[in-house]
Structure 1
């Protein structure tokens, strides 16, 4: 719901992307948000027709790339994007989709790639997540206002006024607030009833795996309280916005219809073999396995189901004044026999396996509402478009200042504690030249420098072990770099940070420019004295890193600054920076040919 690191989607990125998007420059907006658009509209028009190409372009015009980056799943520890994840945004005929890909590895720049591809091809690249197909408010500028209704709001967000101040009991949102309080207090069955649902418990034959279903639901001697507690335990996990379930059911049904409409006409398994992007030979999958969403369900029954832990909730009469929710015991391990099938048909008119499902991402309470209710998030911490959708009467939040790195580090030096300062781009030590010379003599004799001298030398040389707090400062800086927050790095340089820092692999900030995604920093780093052809521990130059992971603009900027395209690494198989098969770097190969002349 919120990025787990302040530099994951920095305010400067949001501002620049928004400026380009509102100007109608969707490609510029994507570039500003670190989204690479690998979509050839001309090729789509040629292969799939003008109508499909126009639809793809329409989706791209309304894409909010910074909002997409904001909502993509992240690792809980460091807040980096989950690697190897692909998320369809919109479906197109013949099982094609506009797909957002996260980085394939965790050590790559935090850039997102958009492709128009078949779902069969996309399935070879990682793990699928269909959330963005169902939650277009997380990336589509036309749908951001839908979040308010998903939270149960009509005129305001439940528990809040339009200005973001706490407010309860007023307007149609009062019912939502009462139901949520019942849910939060553990009275889940009462919450369904208070929301207007007829709640029934349907466990079928008690002899059917009785030992695996709540005994209290069958044992009359334990009384109604035990039965109620068993029902509440079954309902506890879902926590829906009950009044929004009818809309969720309509969206789920529309999703099923969309999958059917865009499914391939020929669904036989594809027998051929193919290579994955990593080079591994694998068998192609049956296209039915990669279609997002169920297509073999009966959506004419008027029923919808929500799977919960060990149970499912079957909903019907959702458009009436008194909808119904039936809590049904699931079959352990899917062992359905004929008796169970007949019982399901008798109760619902069809087997539950053919009832369309409401995905949990639509059925459960939005994370924004829960976080705001519990004061885990302040309204002004939300993305600007989410803020405008939920709190239209509240002024837009002011841009947040980039994270501030420490410029004073306390270091244990011999028996004292000294302060090492970052001033004017250098590490300043509180030692005289004679004391520093003595430490350097110790190193020349085979010893290891410590304290302030280790902090000074280790900042520029990864072979020197720095004191713990100095290593912590470097780790904070590298976390900002990995997330691509160029404005935070620029702010640290303004405060005197030494730009000659190297990470544990010997890479400088020039090597890490593909992660920063901000060519504006390049002249500043060069003016600070960084060598354009500086080598890391593998002998690679910043141009190597830019060719491997950077944008064409970054490669051009390095070449214009004098980077050598013929520089070779010191791997077992040395390679030149100009040796690349990237089609968007043809100009680099041409520059190399001119040098060879």
Structure 2
């Protein structure tokens, strides 16, 4: 999802001290006015924000942002990167909708009830996901001190005979092996924890537990087997790095303390489902919620920490009897115990797939390993085979056109059949459907178009340019009738406008909504693209279809006020 050219260019800009240029390369729009910030919030806040921006690794931020199954960024969310006084935060925002350019926006805003989208605090707790000063923390979160567990410092897989040896890494390896072998309770013990199971204590009720675990008519051995299986199911899902839980608890306590210090006086306006005004970060406990159960961690700073497995309050609703039981057992209600989110409790992705880590993080995991070469750019196919009548023919992309293995006479015959009410088939449908979404193409051509549009939606401009170099027909249209000119706001890293105009793409081309490329650029594109389209001859007064056909110059974006100069008579 983060192409090699973006990694290289962003790293070069960042190492040269050009953090704004690095953000531009990585598709991160910085909407932070440091001068206004200094004037309104003071020099200390402005200096802290600027310091965070200078150490931001925008391509790493893009790398670690949550994604949908199709690879696009999760939408309608916001991710605070750091908290500031009076409930303000430096916030990263992905697109508001999936069919928008995959750009990330950085803003300094107040987190209150008016904040849009679901909030996720993972980037505050895990600064190694975006801060160049903290990338070495990834090794510690994996349980490593001198090396990554299961690997050497040079990035080679450790021989089996050396796995589980001495040191912190060996302890992690032994616990992980037990956990993966279906013995999670033994894994907690190997990591030094005293495991106490409270699931079957009558004070907590029997909800969310196999009723057979309480059946007095079962033989003792069978009842113990059922209870053992209930414990295994409760513990098996989490798969933590046990030795890092003490550090995770410290992070969560510091997180709550910082939020309490920077929250506005009106705490009811503080946005975020994780916020609980009366969390007791000094209670000495931490909890992890796992599928109707709760793991309560105690004594994490001692040589023999304890973990107690208890049934969670049914549907999160604890009655007075339940609260009394929690206070008697833990000294505090569980709702007041700081909760370790799963992002901190579960194994980091770097431990399970270190080769899939960002290059900056991989350098921290394997300090003696040479850097990996950048990922190879994706290459679109130039030839596809389609069924045509009783044969299979090859359709080739060559010199900016779809070339068919047919004579002009056979193509004319297919066109005549369509004029008489038939439907285009085979190779002719492959050629015409590439430029007209109303024509259904054979499946191999639909796959080729989907592959091309996937590159566009991910913003890989150089990959699209390389496909054009190899002869790809640039007159493709997507399912909504948009041309590559319409899709320019999605493309990063390459100036394709002059090239597309040179091969004949039209600035007045209309999509299914009757909108031109300038309509799309005004709606979701950067200012520079809008200026370039207008300079190339795009009409800001072109009306879209529909009873309220809008013109590009009627936009409410203040930075595009220059379009109003195109009103008639002005």
TM-score by length of 1: 0.89
Q: What displacement does 1:463 show?
A: 2.5
- Which one of the candidate residues 326, 334, 337 is aligned to 1:355? 337
Q: What does 1:37-436 correspond to in 2, within 5 Å?
A: 37-76=30-69, 78-120=70-112, 123=115, 125-167=116-158, 168-172=163-167, 173-203=169-199, 205-206=201-202, 208-210=204-206, 212-213=208-209, 216=213, 221-222=220-221, 225-267=225-267, 286-290=268-272, 293-371=275-353, 379=355, 381-436=356-411
Classify 1:596/1:444 alpha carbon distance in 2 versus 1 (closer, same or farther; 3 Å): farther
Q: Is the 8 A contact 2:455 2:464 kept in 1?
A: yes
Q: Is the 8 A contact 1:535 1:541 kept in 2?
A: yes
Q: What SS is found at the alignment partner of 1:110? A: coil
- Which one of the candidate residues 447, 450, 474 is aligned to 1:475? 450
Separation in structure 1 between the aligned mates of residue 277 and residue 374 of structure 2, nearest angstrom: 45
Q: Is the 8 A contact 1:34 1:110 kept in 2?
A: yes
1:520 aligns with 2:508: no
Q: What SS is found at the alignment partner of 2:78? A: strand
Q: What does 1:510-589 correspond to in 2, within 5 Å?
A: 510-518=485-493, 520-589=495-564
Q: Which moved more, 1:286-295 or 1:400-409?
A: 286-295
Q: What SS is found at the alignment partner of 2:378? A: coil
Q: What SS is found at the alignment partner of 2:447? A: helix
Q: What displacement does 1:357 show?
A: 1.6
Classify 1:508/1:339 alpha carbon distance in 2 versus 1 (closer, same or farther; 3 Å): closer
Q: Is the 8 A contact 1:411 1:467 kept in 2?
A: yes
Classify 1:296/1:447 alpha carbon distance in 2 versus 1 (closer, same or farther; 3 Å): same
Q: What displacement does 1:93 show?
A: 0.8
Q: What does 1:486-501 correspond to in 2, within 5 Å?
A: 486-501=461-476
Q: Is the 8 A contact 2:111 2:270 kept in 1?
A: no
Q: Is the 8 A contact 1:412 1:451 kept in 2?
A: yes
Q: Is the 8 A contact 2:153 2:368 kept in 1?
A: yes
* Unpaired stretches in structure 2, ≥5 consecutive residues: none
Separation in structure 2 between the aligned mates of residue 497 and residue 451 of structure 1, nearest angstrom: 19
Per the alignment, residue 417 of structure 2 pairs with 442
Classify 1:28/1:207 alpha carbon distance in 2 versus 1 (closer, same or farther; 3 Å): closer
Q: What displacement does 1:446 show?
A: 4.0
Separation in structure 2 between the aligned mates of residue 216 and residue 569 of structure 1, nearest angstrom: 67
Classify 1:556/1:207 alpha carbon distance in 2 versus 1 (closer, same or farther; 3 Å): closer
Classify 1:439/1:343 alpha carbon distance in 2 versus 1 (closer, same or farther; 3 Å): closer
Q: What displacement does 1:305 show?
A: 1.6
Separation in structure 2 between the aligned mates of residue 87 and residue 295 of structure 1, nearest angstrom: 20
Q: What SS is found at the alignment partner of 1:152? A: coil
Q: Is the 8 A contact 1:263 1:291 kept in 2?
A: no
Q: Which moved more, 1:351-360 or 1:209-218?
A: 209-218
Q: Say what the alpha-carbon RMSD is for the aligned residues.
A: 2.2
Instruction: Describe the superposition over 1:273-330 as per-residue Cα deviations: whole angstroms up to 9, x where unpaired.
Output: xxxxxxxxxxxxx414537543412222212222222222222221111112122233
Instruction: Describe the superposition over 1:14-56 as per-residue Cα deviations: whole angstroms up to 9, x where unpaired.
Output: 2222222222222221111111122222222222222111111
Q: What SS is found at the alignment partner of 2:479? A: coil
Q: Is the 8 A contact 1:17 1:32 kept in 2?
A: yes
* Unpaired stretches in structure 1, ≥5 consecutive residues: 1-7, 268-285, 373-378
Instruction: Describe the superposition over 1:506-542 as per-residue Cα deviations: whole angstroms up to 9, x where unpaired.
Output: 2110110001134511122122222233222333221
Aligned residue pairs total 561
Per the alignment, residue 270 of structure 1 pairs with none
